[in-house]
Amino acid sequence: MPDQSPASGPGSAAEPGRPLSLRRIEAVHRADLLEVESYDLTLDLTTSEETFDSLTRIVVTSAGGRTFLDLKPTSLRSVHVDGAPLDVALLQRGRLPLDLPAGRHEVVVDAVMPFRNDGEGLHRSVDPADGRHYVYGMSFMDAAPTVFACFDQPDLKAPYTLHVTAPQEWTVVGNGAATQVEPGRWELATTQPLSTYFVTLVAGPYHVVRDTHDGIPLGLSARASLAGALEADAEELLTLTRQCFDEFHRLFGIRYPFGEYHQAFVPEFNAGAMENPGCVTFRDTLVFSSRTTRGMRTQRAITVAHEMAHQWFGNIVTPRWWDDLWLNESFAEYMGNRVTASVTQFDEAWVLNSFQRRQWGLLADQRPTTHPVAGNGADDALEALQSFDGISYAKGSAILRQLNARLGDDVFLAGAVDHFTRHRFGNATMHDLLGSWERAGAADLGTFSDAWLTTAGPDLLEVDRTAGVLRRTAPATAEGVAPAERTHAVSLLVAAPGDGAEGGSVHEVRVDAAQVPVTVPDGGVVLLDPVEATWAATLPDATTVPLLPALVSATEDARVRAAVWNQLRSGVHHARVDPDAAVDLAEAWLPVETVDAGLVYTFPWVLSYLPHTSDPASSADRLQEAALVAARGAEPGSPLQLAAFQSAIGACRAADLLVAWLGGERLPEGVDVDLELRWRLLVRLAALGATDRAALDAALDAEPTAVSRVEHTRAVASLPTAEAKTFAWERLTGAVSVPNYELTAAGDGLWRSGTDGPDGVALPYVQEFAALVPTLPDVHSGWVLATAVEAFYPRSSVTAGTVAAMTTLAARDDLDGSVRRRLLDATDELTHRLAVRRAFRGED
């Protein structure tokens, strides 16, 4: 990865120590002092493959006083304020001090900036398929200063004008419409006021598809090697975009105000997508070059709608600081699902949300690192990055859905429109939005906000048949702090043994106390909140658990099947339900599930618990057979069949069968082994020790695509050999520098196991990991630092010794905040899994 700190040498500024992260108190002071009028950026991408030239002109008005400019160059040539030079040696730890008298000033910074390969700043990637180079900008959170000099905080918005020099064969797009004024020189139109973290540039020999809709120029782009796949997906993507624009315009009555709407699918992107106005960036794995499931297409549709929702929630109005992150992400999550379900072909969006996102949010909300939806306490920018989690997305979305049901659509939308209108192209807070809703006709929302938005943790709901009550247990709070008094409006589905949901009866229950009386039968299923109308962790009772396989086999309601899985998963997480029950449920469910998203997003969780079942090998064989039954029973060539066959691969322990499938033999009718399936099979063979490095290298050489390169890394690291684990480890230590996707794949492979837990050759890396982690910020930074810790965490070493070692590690006071957060979360998960083993496998 390119060095982000300035190098010592002629014309450079020596900068001891890591760059500082902006603290909130500093942002408040700087916003009081400055008003930024404009940015003018000149970028030359042709100077080398490692760096580019960046010339920044900022016009700013100061109230008079000292502040600083954010800047993280490779070398700093010059800085001028109103034409007078500043000493470049003043740059320290990413900050250049400025003393600006009251009045209007021009700041000009001439710097050399690093191309990066960690998915941040200006990321440069080489496509292994054809050797072509691609660049894209990701300025999010604190990466903008590695692209241009700036006052890097969300509430110092300004218009941007870009001038770009690029290789002549490249195409350039960005926030403003790009025009090639001569070969290799591009001028981008001045934007509306933007926060620094929205500024992007996408440049390279991209394949571009263009269209228009309702007066809005539309564009799609992807690497040249994906041109065929992009062309195949273009009509679906453009149709989604048209439908979503029409619906957002109908709902809000405020037109998209940022000119062009380009959707760029870029390589090695850390997030799913980034909502940069005018030029949204997506990870290019969302351009499907192999056959894929409907669940993956539905998730892509939701992502498209999510980023479009951000054009209003986040881009027209931006949070003043990151403690109101939910004003961006919770709304985009809610509106993305809502709009996808209501106006596109992917009307099962909310079902996918239940299968994929709900447990993500519930687990995050029960971790020791839980935080409120709003007012998350982020004191600095890097700490705030860790709050882009299941709470800010899934929980926040669920709370907004509850609020919409309470207020009604008219009041809910009128409040949003008032919010956009009052703060257009500016910044706002939670209290600003609550005020907008109250003006639109909502009652005082203070009580709602206190209970649902600013109090962390979910309530736990469970039925006690013996006592005839439904119990609500509030999350633990600090000493002396009263728990939130939340009211839940839920239903109980009661069904006789063997009946589906359609044959049961539904009882509405208002949970407004620690326990409320309910009448339930002695036998039969009792399913809490089957349509997941409230935010709570719901647990199945002991009588219900063994009846769930019959329920899912008989019911036609996919929402109920998803709710069953979420409740069983919560039960296993809390060591109330034996993982054997998950195998029983999956065995009955696989052949009857009709929404392939369930298989895509739930079955990997089942596989992760196989080592904790009473007979892992037998459990795996049962699941493989059930998945094959599902694959043979599905329509040949259908996405559902593909999802079922992927599940069969994941459970398969028989190397000879995997080899046969790899060779195109013994496959269910309709299954063809394409690139994605081929690597899925190779990774599974590697984990079982049934292939070798030479065979994996040959597979990469045969199809040297970006997908192949990442999956080759995953497969090699999965081999149960000391050499393979060294291969993975060298990528974490930086001994071998690789892009972000390959780094994550190496960590995944290091701890991948055949069936019964980690391979013995990986176990020494528990202590190696503990020793290395405190030094990782010297090797990795930003988004990738936390991702690397999560990827290489010894997740399959479920022992008291590993829990103790990781707990001690997380308690060190010299850890980066993002590292500590990932350690705490991963160790909490390990602790829960150890509790499961103790409760059901009798282990100490």
Q: Is 508 exposed, middle or buried (0-12, 13-18, 19+ CB in 10 A)?
A: exposed
pLDDT of residue 182: 97
Q: In CATH terms, are 1-204 and 331-453 the same topology?
A: no
Contact 268, 741 (CB under 8 A): yes
Measured in degrees and rounded to the nearest 5, phi and psi for residue 474 equal -75, 155
pLDDT of residue 753: 66
Q: Residues 6 or more apart from 663 whose CB is under 8 A from it?
A: none
504-523 mean pLDDT: 91
Q: How far apart are CA 145 and CA 156, in angstroms?
A: 14
pLDDT of residue 11: 31
169-185 mean pLDDT: 98
Contact 440, 415 (CB under 8 A): yes
pLDDT tens digits for 57-105? 999 999 999 999 999 999 999 999 999 999 999 999 999 999 999 999 9
pLDDT of residue 759: 62
pLDDT tens digits for 632-664? 999 999 999 999 999 999 999 999 999 999 999
The percent of residues in the chain predicted with pLDDT above 70, rounded, is: 96
Contact 191, 176 (CB under 8 A): yes
- Check the CA dihedral 154-155-159-165 and report its sign: negative
* Pairing, β 525-528 against β 171-174: unpaired
Least confident window among 3-7, 56-60, 86-90, 264-268: 3-7
pLDDT of residue 9: 27
Q: How far apart are CA 241 and CA 218, in angstroms?
A: 9
- From the list 307, 593, 676, 742, the catalytic residue is 307
Question: 1-204, what's its fold?
Answer: Immunoglobulin-like (2.60.40)
pLDDT tens digits for 602-616? 999 999 999 999 999
Q: How confident is the model at residue 15 (pLDDT cuts 50, 70, 90)?
A: very low
pLDDT of residue 477: 73
| 152-185 per-residue burial string, b: 16 or more CB within 10 A, e: under 16 | bbbbbbbbbbbebbbeeebbbbbbbbbeeeeebe
245-269 mean pLDDT: 98
Scanning 125-186, the segments in alpha helix (DSSP H) are none
- Check the CA dihedral 303-306-307-308 and report its sign: positive
pLDDT of residue 129: 94
pLDDT of residue 760: 79
Residues listed for the chain = 844
Q: How confident is the model at residue 381 (pLDDT cuts 50, 70, 90)?
A: confident
pLDDT of residue 356: 95
pLDDT of 758 strictly over 60 = no
Measured in degrees and rounded to the nearest 5, phi and psi for residue 57 equal -120, 120
Structure tokens at 194: 């933007």
pLDDT of 4 strictly over 50 = no
492-521 mean pLDDT: 89
The domain ranges of the chain are 1-204, 331-453, 763-844
348 is catalytic: no
Q: How confident is the model at residue 13 (pLDDT cuts 50, 70, 90)?
A: very low
pLDDT of 704 strictly over 80 = yes
pLDDT tens digits for 311-356? 999 999 999 998 888 999 999 999 999 999 999 999 999 999 999 9
CATH architecture for segment(s) 331-453: Orthogonal Bundle (1.10)
Q: Residues 6 or more apart from 424 whose CB is under 8 A from it?
A: 316, 317
DSSP 462-485: EEETTTTEEEEEPPP--TT-PPP-
Q: Tell me, what DSSP letter sits at residue 38?
A: E
Q: Residues 6 or more apart from 411 whose CB is under 8 A from it?
A: 437, 440, 441, 442
| Rg, Å, the chain Cα set | 27
Q: Quick one: which of 603, 662, 669 has its CA closest to 634? A: 669
Mean of the per-residue pLDDT values for the chain? 94
Highest mean pLDDT among 496-505, 627-636, 817-826: 627-636
The percent of residues in the chain predicted with pLDDT above 90, rounded, is: 89
570-597 mean pLDDT: 97
pLDDT of 207 strictly over 50 = yes
Element (H, E) at 488: strand 488-495
pLDDT of 772 strictly over 50 = yes
pLDDT tens digits for 384-410? 777 789 999 999 999 999 999 999 999
pLDDT of 265 strictly over 90 = yes
pLDDT tens digits for 521-578? 888 899 999 999 999 999 999 999 999 999 999 999 999 999 999 999 999 999 999 9
pLDDT tens digits for 133-170? 999 999 998 899 999 999 999 999 999 999 999 999 99
31-55 mean pLDDT: 98
Contact 530, 491 (CB under 8 A): yes
pLDDT of 752 strictly over 90 = no
pLDDT of residue 376: 67
pLDDT of residue 162: 98
Q: Quick one: which of 81, 70, 88, 68 has its CA closest to 7? A: 88
pLDDT of residue 817: 87
244-268 mean pLDDT: 98
